[in-house]
Structure 1
Amino acid sequence: MPYLSRVWLNPLRTGAQALLRNPEKMHAAVLGGIARQPITERVLWRLDTHAHRPELLVLTDSRPSWEHIVEQAGWPNAEDPQALVRDYQPLLDRIQTGREFGFRLRANPVAATRNPASPSAQQKEKLTAPRPRGVRVAHRTAAHQLDWLTSRIDKWGFTPLTSPDDLADTVPMVRLSARERLVFFKHARDADTPARRVVLSVATFEGALRVTDPELARHTLLAGVGAAKAYGCGLLTLAPLTSDSGG
């Protein structure tokens, strides 16, 4: 049974600051909340960065426990609950053809190519291998990132709602609410191997959509979309549709 958790972080605490700065550390903290070991389930998470109280959203197959994050990075002695865990099945049951929702998605829009303009050392190694495969190249402009979403959303079991523009045409009700470049170091399991620098172009999308294929839409919600899922990308969330769309 899937569960959606919401954990609040205290940005004034050193433990929270370390998690907020480094997606690898946040990923490790998220996995620390899963009791079933070894971890074989898909775990998706997203950080919604509000100024005073950042929110960590996590989607898991098994019921998690977040006491360690609250103790390290939250308000452990506060009166209000600092972590909420909800059954995700009621939302999945509402996914029916024609239903409309507001959505939010934090993603790493990329494309595969065998001819990158400025390949990194790691990409050069892959491209010169005996059986070369395409490498991922990030979409860095707002226009390309929006096109990445609108060209794929139909394959996820949804279609964006549209609104008329000034030319009496229609445009998708999708917007970029945030864009950022994440740079951090991923440490290898082998202590003798140097840490690898990771650079991600991340975009947060918000808008309104309609369900076109319920089975495919449920799969999208549970499996996530795009690359860099371990680093807080790919979790698509839905909410009741309002004039201020968001998930």
Structure 2
Amino acid sequence: MTYLSRIRINPLRAESRRLLANPRAMHGAVSGGVPGAPDGERVLWRLDADNPHRPHLFVLTRSKPDWRHIVERAGWPDAEGEHAAIRDYFPLLRQIAIGREFAFRLTASPVQNSHAPLNPTPAQAARLAATSEADQKRPRGFRLGHRTAAAQLDWFLTRTERWGFEVPVSRTDAPAPGLVHVGDEPTSTDSDTSDIGPARDVRITARARRSFLKNGKGPRVTFQSATFEGRLRVTDTAAITARLLEGIGPSKAYGCGLLTLAPLQGRAG
């Protein structure tokens, strides 16, 4: 079976502040809620902090988890309410059908591959220097994070087809005469917009740069993340189901990759 959990986090507690600030620490706490070996299954998680006073941790697991250690150290263990909701994921997967629309949220790490980074890190520079000029084999590229919102959005929209869904055109009023929508902002039609498609029903609601030492003392891990929210339409049930269960993009251990769906309120699916 597969389970989706939602855990309430109390941001005023010392342990909560440590978990919220460090994806490596949160990864350890999440792994501690799953029985068996830490590497026995792929665990996806995402921290939603729309309300910084009431952040929620979402976790997708194959085995039934136990979150009492997080609730006791980083939640409200003696307060009323459901501190850690654990739900069977199958009812949602059963709703997946061609043409059905859902509201979605995804925190991902948009990346690109480059053989010549503009500002290489010391480790990248050492690897480049070690590459022999006589070596005819093309060196392995570097995975670099997209830093701008425009590049991150383009990364997302150019990959939705392979992920089994499309993002429909945004349901907005037509722009005023003489203006067209480019992304989220109107611009004059004097510029060349022939390659710009219609605005899609997706927006980036959060962006962050994360940097920390792996295992607390190893090499530094740095990545860019972006949270996408909007509306999607299913085009391939097998592909989107795989992405729901296996995640999207890199940095899955550190809070990226979990795609979640919700029914569209007041709309027929």
Matches within 5 A, 1:150-229: 150-163=157-170, 165-166=174-175, 167=180, 170-187=198-215, 194-229=217-252
Aligned-partner Cα distance in 2 for 1:138–1:178: 15
Residue 120, structure 1, aligned to residue 127, structure 2: no
Partner in structure 2 of residue 46 of structure 1: 46
Distance 1:187 1:234 in 2: 21
Cα pair 1:126 1:135 within 8 Å, conserved? no
Distance in 2, matches of 1:112 and 1:225, equals 16
- Residue type of the partner of 2:15? G
Aligned match of 1:22? 22
**Residue 78 of structure 1: CA displacement?**
1.2
> Is the contact made by 1:126 and 1:133 (CA closer than 8 Å) also made in structure 2?
no
Question: 2:189 maps to which residue?
Answer: none
Q: Is the 8 A contact 1:106 1:233 kept in 2?
A: yes
2:207 and 2:225 in contact (8 A); partners too: yes
User: Which residue is 1:35 aligned to?
Assistant: 35
Partner deviation per Cα, 1:19-65 (whole Å, 9 max, x = no partner): 00100000000000011225321100000012211100000000000
Q: String of CA shifts for 1:92-135, please: whole Å, max 9, x gaps.
A: 11111001001101111110111111111222344445763111
Opposite residue 46 of structure 2, the aligned amino acid is: R
After TM superposition, what 4+ stretches of structure 1 lie above 4 angstroms from structure 2? Answer: none
For the residues of structure 1 that align with 2:223 and 2:5, how far apart are their CA atoms? 25
CA distance in 2 between partners of 1:213 and 1:196 (Å): 39
- 2:259 corresponds to which residue? 236
- Specify every segment of 5 or more residues in structure 2 that has no aligned partner in the other structure, as ranges: 182-196
TM-score by length of structure 1 reads 0.91
**Partners of 2:38 and 2:104 in 1: CA distance:** 32
Partners of 2:265 and 2:212 lie apart in 1 by 36
What secondary structure sits across from 1:156 in the alignment?
A: coil
Residues 27 and 129 from structure 1, CA distance in 2 versus in 1: closer, same or farther, beyond 3 angstroms? farther
Q: Partner amino acid for 2:215?
A: H
SS of aligned partner of 1:170? coil
TM-score by length of structure 2 reads 0.84
Q: Which has the larger radius of gyration?
A: 2
Alpha-carbon distance in 2 for matches of 1:118, 1:60: 38
Partner of 1:191 in structure 2?
A: none
Identity within the alignment, %: 52
Which residue of the partner structure matches residue 86 of structure 1?
87
